[in-house]
Amino acid sequence: MKDKMTIILFSGEMDKAIAAFTLATTAAASGMEVAIFFTFWGLNILKKSKFSITRSQNMLQKMFNFMSTSSLPITKLNMLGLGPWMMKKLMKKSKMASLEELMSLAKELKVKYIACTTSCGVLGLAKENLIDEVDEFAGASTYLNEAKDSKINLFI
Amino acid sequence: MKDKMTIILFSGEMDKAIAAFTLATTAAASGMEVAIFFTFWGLNILKKSKFSITRSQNMLQKMFNFMSTSSLPITKLNMLGLGPWMMKKLMKKSKMASLEELMSLAKELKVKYIACTTSCGVLGLAKENLIDEVDEFAGASTYLNEAKDSKINLFI
Amino acid sequence: MKDKMTIILFSGEMDKAIAAFTLATTAAASGMEVAIFFTFWGLNILKKSKFSITRSQNMLQKMFNFMSTSSLPITKLNMLGLGPWMMKKLMKKSKMASLEELMSLAKELKVKYIACTTSCGVLGLAKENLIDEVDEFAGASTYLNEAKDSKINLFI
């Protein structure tokens, strides 16, 4: 049986997402079985890039989504608006993989994406609002079952 | 013997607290033994709602508590002040349990609350400033003993 | 064989660094083998205090370092600039160990410091920019090997 790792990706910031996917892809490449459980702001990473506000959403969910979509911020330096721009530039210069590249690598390596159903409910997100690469929609008990058998469990 | 889970709740934000208590109650409901170790800002969640500043606190502790009490913020959207209000509304609409409901469920399910003595010391918090549901006041070594035997350990 | 613990220190905030080093030193003092993997903002903690901008850094890296050096902020209260100052005062009053004291204790107790090579590359940090106490420069796979055999793994 393969060694397992789980990551709860709660944060929607680009720097934390990159850390999560770097760990996930490195683990999967070395033969581990990896599952990422996307919850709260982490779901932003799974949104289709041009997320069209759906009819079924109520006014509050529309506002919420409007405020939380678009490009991912990074934890620091946001005040100046320089953060994400600078980070992308630096990553390119040092030939570090971008989040997009890491995510496509993750899928090649069969990293499992689980979207938290409870958070989707709160945010008014339906299946069709998220990218097709999501493997499963499930709640905390599914996560706990995965995590119980895993050697490494992280909350990011 | 029961499977165990520990959570260090370092953050005082509402969204992270909800994530922590959702995991804790789901785990406890499925038969796991769960302990939450509240430290730093996480102690805000355990404060009695009308926390009266005590005589024994020094000036700095008074200022610190004044600045960190009252309602829990959420990680994002605070700039506009809309965050916590919007989130509560959305949670109500989608029938998601509130933090208060999750906390009372956690106690029914015997989730253990451990308050970090070192952090209490720094913040000038005494036993009587925290809710009665706290099971134990202890330090990092108590946490480590719990965590060593646990299948899932998270820092939130 | 000793019980092991790993910590990924991603955050550069003083409060989170203190939490990480309190756990690390308590674990090491009780006989555990502890490794801290410093990545992204966590690398700030390992910078030499008077970090001189090196020639080999490009313009972007210079800006980035200029913005992220100097004293560590704390998660909250930064708007008013009171955070770090107040926290240091409070810690002193309550005789809590400072980050500097915790870090020198960590080295006495042989806590292993691993600096993430990928992050160093992005930030333009070379060996000579970090304190001599760093034991190893390595990537995610080294971390995963350590974490797989550890009883406690935290992401801070």
Chains in contact with C via at least 3 Cβ–Cβ pairs below 8 Å: A, B
CA–CA dist A56, A59 (Å, integer): 10
Query: Interface of chain B against chain A, CB under 8 Å?
Result: 3, 5, 15-16, 19, 22-23, 26-27, 30, 32, 75-77, 80, 82, 86-87, 89-91, 93-94, 96, 151-156
Say which residue the tokens 């469920």 belong to.
B105
Provide, as residue numbers in chain A, all residues whose Cβ is less than 8 Å from the Cβ of B109. Answer: none
The tens digit of pLDDT for each residue in B94-150 reads 667 788 899 999 999 999 999 999 999 888 889 999 999 999 999 999 999 999 999
Is the distance from CB of A20 to CB of A106 less than 8 angstroms? no
Q: What is the pLDDT of residue A50?
A: 44
List residues of C whose CB lies inside 8 A of any B CB. 3, 5, 15-16, 19, 22-23, 26-27, 30, 32, 75-77, 80, 82, 86-87, 89-91, 93-94, 96, 151-156
**CA A97 distance to own-chain centroid:** 16
Which chains touch B (3+ CB pairs under 8 A)? Answer: A, C
Neighbours of C43 (CB within 10 A): 23
Report the C-alpha gap between C57 and B71 in whole angstroms.
44
- Give alpha helix (H) positions in chain B: 14-29, 59-68, 83-93, 99-108, 117-123, 140-148
pLDDT grade, residue B61 (50/70/90)?
low
Q: What pLDDT shows up at residue C12? A: 86
Determine the straight-line distance between the first and last CA of chain A, rounded to whole angstroms: 26
Q: How far apart are CA C113 and CA C64, in angstroms?
A: 23
ipTM topping 0.90? no
- The pLDDT mean for chain B works out to 82
pLDDT value at residue B52: 47
- Can you list the positions of beta strands (E) in chain C? 4-9, 33-38, 112-116, 136-138, 152-155
Cα torsion angle, C39, C42, C48, C51, sign: positive
Of all residues in chain B, the one with the smallest CA distance to C9 is: B155
Instruction: Give chain B's length.
Output: 156
Per the DSSP assignment, residues forming a β-bridge with B153 are: B6
Give CA angle at A148 (A142, A151), nearest 5°: 125
- Cα nearest neighbour of A82 on chain C: C64
Chain B nearest-CA distance from A81, in A, is 15
Residue A13: band (very low, low, confident or very high) from pLDDT cuts 50, 70, 90: confident
pTM for this predicted structure: 0.84
Task: List the one residue out of A47, A35, A39 whose CA is nearest residue A10.
Answer: A39
